[in-house]
Chains A and B, each alone.
Chain A
């Protein structure tokens, strides 16, 4: 088997604030193979973005380690880390704030080339034009500035910038969440096309299960710093075993008139509980509220198949959704 391009091993991270400690990551492990997409999904505060920051080397885990292209980030000196950044780039959520609004589109897209010492202006420009073309924007956009662009166009510019130094990995942190429906579809299609053409590896952070289903080969469902369930697209969307996964999927509003009101699986508005010896989801779970086991016993990882595992004492029977 090929070595994964991204491999995160048992990451933990606790943020210490005046209001107490927040365990943002609580021992998560995942890996992404070349040319594939892993979606990290979950609600706000589940730790998806913290995990992405670790992968990008923007933050260090308390314990555990991240390896990119087989190189463990914590062993690298800052100059080596910089070189590695050629291989991993990021596109963020807000189309406008991630671009320097005083720069032209050309300057923005050339940015990474400048940072990595490409001094020949005509080579840079030629590259920028090539990338603009790849993301479906005309050459005339080179001299525009972000305020002259729509949200979707900004996002295309951000993608062009990320790809200009030919990275192998793209971290997409809620990259389409701020876009309108019709534009979101365009950008998602573009991302799939670019992935195929350039055999890119995506780490796709999203709260949107529909987008995850469209984009991801594998999905990791996060809740309170833990991966509650992990599997391929089929495992998660057809055979979900964790109550939280089922709840998330059933909460996605479908654009079709309801035949009957959907059952909401999640029964409580309570936040999760933070105790070591218990399932952190139990206070929102119809089973977890009743079963003593969920309140007292640590939940082990159960594997259903080579691709599929979950953290639940009482997994759902797979009659499908």
Chain B
């Protein structure tokens, strides 16, 4: 399968007191055409910065230090800002956590969708309106005509996120980046919106990069999963592999510390001690070492890189040990 998006050696720095630190540290990954990939991590792990870098939405003092990005064999990281405008929104669209702040609160939803349709294609206002109604219908809004004439404050969170998705689709993108797009929604609404994105992805052969802190959302939605910690991808693989046979101690610990409806309440949840690190100058050691229950000497003297095991990879010196723990279960 050919790749839709390929990111190579992406490093993004943010200024700090003692010089710039890499909040995204030399990460590489690719998204094959038509797949749904989840990027999972805790706050501060660099997952949103990765998305913003792909969309080229970062600005001083945050800096794209190095890295190349290809969209279908075309290197988009070397485009000028002006050239990039034909990519952003049109070929890669993004939706965010808070639909209320994505939309202009004093403009009717319809006008905003029509505006974005006209931005990406040269059509009359009348044709754009018909297209907007189609899009609203596609995202499961029951009364598109009414929604077209509504203001954002008149709609519920789920309806708003659907409208935002309709807007994101207006340029017929190939890649949809959803940055915590269902986090602010109620569970029932979340389930429906995830279903919708799933359906749209199949119908339109759309690839999706889903950014989430919620392991459950990733497990239910994605084909491929990448786990980020402290600016690096520490594990990636198929959804089944990552969730049933994790290879990195962080992934395993995250899975153990989850609290969903399968939780065993008779004993304490196995939590991860300590705090996620803040972006800082990295000493030459594994950045998970101080929270890891499998830490050894070599973890403290050098930093592991992603090593391939079968179709997946993990950045840990002791992956085999972690894998064997799953086999016991």
Contacts and interface: CB of A to CB of B under 8 A. Distances in A.
Interface in B211-253: 213-221, 239-240, 243-244, 253
Interface string A244-265: 0001110111111110001010
B30 to A, nearest CB: 21
A44 B215 CA distance: 22
Interface string A30-46: 00000000000001100
Looking at B156, B157, B191, the one whose CB has the most chain A CB atoms below 10 A away is B191
Shortest 5 CB-CB contacts between residues of A and residues of B? A253-B216, A185-B271, A255-B215, A185-B257, A182-B272
A271 B276 CA distance: 39
A57 interface: no
Interface residues of A, number: 43
A209 B195 contact: no
Chain B contact patch, size range: 35 or more
Given A254-B216, A254-B260, A256-B219, A43 B243 contact: no
Contact of B157 (A44, A153, A183, A237): A44
A44 B160 CA distance: 15
A182 B220 contact: no
B257 A181 contact: yes
B268 A150 contact: no
A308 interface: no
B42 interface: yes
A258 B219 contact: yes
Interface in B97-133: none
12 contacts: A152-B275, A181-B215, A183-B42, A183-B275, A186-B272, A210-B258, A248-B187, A251-B187, A255-B258, A256-B262, A266-B188, A269-B158
B192 interface: yes
Given A43-B186, A185-B269, A248-B187, A255 B213 contact: no
A264 B257 contact: no
A189 interface: yes
Given A251-B190, A253-B214, A182 B254 contact: yes
Given A249-B261, A257-B219, A269-B159, 20 more contacts: A43-B186, A44-B157, A181-B214, A182-B272, A185-B270, A186-B271, A214-B263, A233-B265, A248-B188, A251-B188, A251-B190, A253-B217, A254-B261, A254-B262, A255-B216, A255-B219, A262-B191, A264-B188, A266-B191, A269-B189
A219 to B, nearest CB: 12
Contacts, number: 142
B42 A247 contact: no
Interface string B65-85: 000000000000000000000
A242 interface: no
A180 B158 CA distance: 23
Contact of B187 (A183, A207, A255): A207
A184 interface: yes
B97 to A, nearest CB: 13
Nearest to A176: B259
B43 interface: yes
A185 B188 contact: no
A188 interface: yes
Contacts of B263: 210, 213-214
B142 interface: yes
Given A182-B271, A269-B159, A252 B42 contact: no
Contacts of A188: 259, 269, 271
A211 B214 CA distance: 14
